[in-house]
Amino acid sequence: MKPKPEPLDLFKVALFLDLDGTIAPIMPRPDDVEPEAARNGLLKALNDKLEGRLAVISGRSVSAVDRITEGAVTSVAGAHGLERRTASGQREDTEAHAALDTVVTEFRALNRVLEGLIVEDKGVSVAVHYRQEPDHKANIIALATRMAESHGLRLQPGHEVIELRTPGPNKGDAIRAFMCEAPFIGHMPVFVGDDLTDEVGFEAVNSLGGFGVRVGAGSSVARYGLKDVAAVTAWLEESLLCLT
């Protein structure tokens, strides 16, 4: 495990948080993650102290992030960067690849055979969750790989999920875009995430003079580490307390 970070100086940083596995628990089904008053209260308090320099950088759609956070954070990058809402509320979304409808149809047909398979249509990408079908993992990934190659889609692996996405911006690109805009510009970026898809985000903050915090075990370019969602929550609360 990488060393634990010191509490943040909230006057100096711009904070970027992944959602699932970072500030919310990973659940068997994406829809199982519900809004939580304590978590959203913490996000609102952080956003206030940071004067808006807080963004959620998630694999979920922006609308799904809003459902879980109850709109606590305005700045959101969804679908791993393919969707983005700025601090002013402006949307910058990538147009969905036309082949994604075919991908959804193909995997939903497979879902009728593999009932534990979850097909999540995000509009600009399709996430295929195989957590409940571990015996079929190799075949599912092979099918996703063939479809991505034949249709010109990007393949993105994650925690028990494989995602076929429209070519376009990733989480690192989204962080860089936010850092060029008010109120983030001129502050030190910090990104907290738990998955392979977050490594490009860690690379982005490293290149901009900030640092990453990896949640959980595993190799990472992040400088620091925290054990789990509870540890992230405690660290963020500690950072708030340091201001009082």
Domain count, the chain: 2
Encoded amino acid at 117, one letter: L
**And the tokens for 147?**
């479809």
Q: Do 231 and 139 share a structural domain?
A: no
Q: 151 and 52 in one domain?
A: no
Domain boundary pick from 165, 189, 212: 165
Domain extent at residue 175: 13-94+169-241
Pairing status of strand 211-215 against strand 188-193 = parallel
In a domain, 6, yes or no: no
**Known catalytic residues?**
18
Structure tokens at 42: 């913490």
Residue listed under structure tokens 């398979």: 117
Q: Residue 111: which CATH number? A: 3.30.70.1020
Instruction: Tell me the per-residue pLDDT of 217-228, one tens digit each, with 9 for 90 and over.
Output: 989 999 999 999
Residue 134 preceded by cis peptide, ω within 30: no
| pLDDT tens column, 131-179 | 999 999 999 999 999 999 999 999 999 889 999 999 999 999 999 999 9
Separation CA 240–CA 35 (nearest Å):
21
Task: Quote the distance between the C-alpha of residue 74 and its chain's center.
Answer: 15
Its pTM stands at 0.94
- What pLDDT shows up at residue 242? 85
Band of the pLDDT at 68, cuts 50, 70, 90?
Answer: very high
SS3 190: strand
Residue 244 has pLDDT above 70, yes or no: no
Q: Is residue 8 part of a domain?
A: no
